[in-house]
């Protein structure tokens, strides 16, 4: 079985968000939408909520945390200005999926190490 990759997960989520936002009020083409969802679910073992990702190191943990946060915010801000119901459902799905992901702390995880790093 192919190994799951948390970085591939967030890269796919970012591409999905970009597709949602850049297509304006038009829904993401159905085939593309299905491909994104399939790719995301593959990394999450098919779980739509409380799925775990396993970053290997603290820097990777931090990178994932920031990128997940940024995609949620970017997508959410877009959704607030959107008036197309289909697009809003796409946005909601992505926000819910990303927001439900849990990051398992890596073996070398150390809160002290990340204390002073800023989000932006």
Of 38, 50, 48, the C-alpha closest to 8 is 38
Site for other proteins in 64-83 (CB under 8 A): 65-66, 69, 72, 76, 79-80, 82-83
Contact 32, 90 (CB under 8 A): no
Encoding tokens for residue 51?
């799925």
**Binding-site member from 24, 29, 46, 99 for other proteins (CB under 8 A):** 99
> In angstroms, what is the minimal distance from the CB of 35 to other proteins?
20
Contact 120, 65 (CB under 8 A): no
Q: Would you count residue 23 as binding other proteins (CB under 8 A)? A: no
> In angstroms, what is the minimal distance from the CB of 84 to other proteins?
7
Strand partners, 102: 52
Q: How many chain residues touch other proteins (CB under 8 A)?
A: 27
């Amino acid at each position: 079985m192919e190994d799951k990759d948390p970085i591939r997960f967030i890269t796919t989520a970012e591409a999905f968000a970009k597709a949602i936002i850049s297509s304006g009020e038009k829904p993401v083409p159905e085939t593309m939408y299905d491909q994104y969802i399939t790719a995301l679910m593959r990394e999450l073992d098919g779980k739509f909520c409380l799925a775990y990702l396993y970053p290997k190191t603290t820097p990777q943990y931090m990178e994932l945390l920031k990128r997940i946060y940024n995609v949620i915010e970017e997508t959410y801000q877009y959704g607030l200005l959107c008036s197309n119901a289909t697009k809003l459902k796409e946005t909601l799905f992505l926000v819910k999926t990303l927001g439900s992901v849990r990051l398992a702390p890596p073996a070398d995880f150390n809160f002290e190490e990340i204390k002073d790093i800023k989000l932006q």
